[in-house]
Amino acid sequence: MSDFDPYKDRDGGLATQEAKPKLKRPPLYKVILLNDDFTPMDFVIEILMDFFAMSEEKATQVMLQVHTQGVGVCGMYSKDVAETKVYIVNDYSREHHHPLMCSMEEV
């Protein structure tokens, strides 16, 4: 049998480095709520509980953060999920004739 082993020293003594896998985690997006003067506080709390699975206590905290600071984070999601959340929150708010604005930004 031949001594030739095709897996041994294929570089002929030359130092080589394996290519690093070019995988990056997909970016995350923050879904945010913006303050306005008209949307009732209870409606915002309902949104945070129903669409972002928050407890009433957490939803109240986030609503008050938005009310006092102007903006607050509802959660972090992949692009598709964030886009869907923004769409359903804005759609639901318009259906109920409130000007509440939901938006997203890359983290």
Binding residues (CB under 6 A) for ligand TYC: these are 33-37, 39-41, 44, 63, 66-67, 100
Please, which residue, 5 or 102, has the CB nearer to ligand TYC?
Answer: 102
* The residue type at 86: V
Please, which residue, 63 or 104, has the CB nearer to ligand TYC?
Answer: 63
Tokens of 59: 């939803």
State the angle between helix axes of 56-69 and 41-52 in degrees (0 to 180), rounded to the nearest 10.
130
Closest approach of ligand TYC to the CB of residue 39, in Å: 4
Q: Cα(67)–Cα(51) distance, rounded to whole angstroms?
A: 19
Tokens of 42: 């209870």
Please, which residue, 42 or 80, has the CB nearer to ligand TYC?
Answer: 42
Closest approach of ligand TYC to the CB of residue 15, in Å: 59
Please, which residue, 55 or 80, has the CB nearer to ligand TYC?
Answer: 55
- Nearest Cα neighbor of 59 from 35, 36, 89, 51 is 51
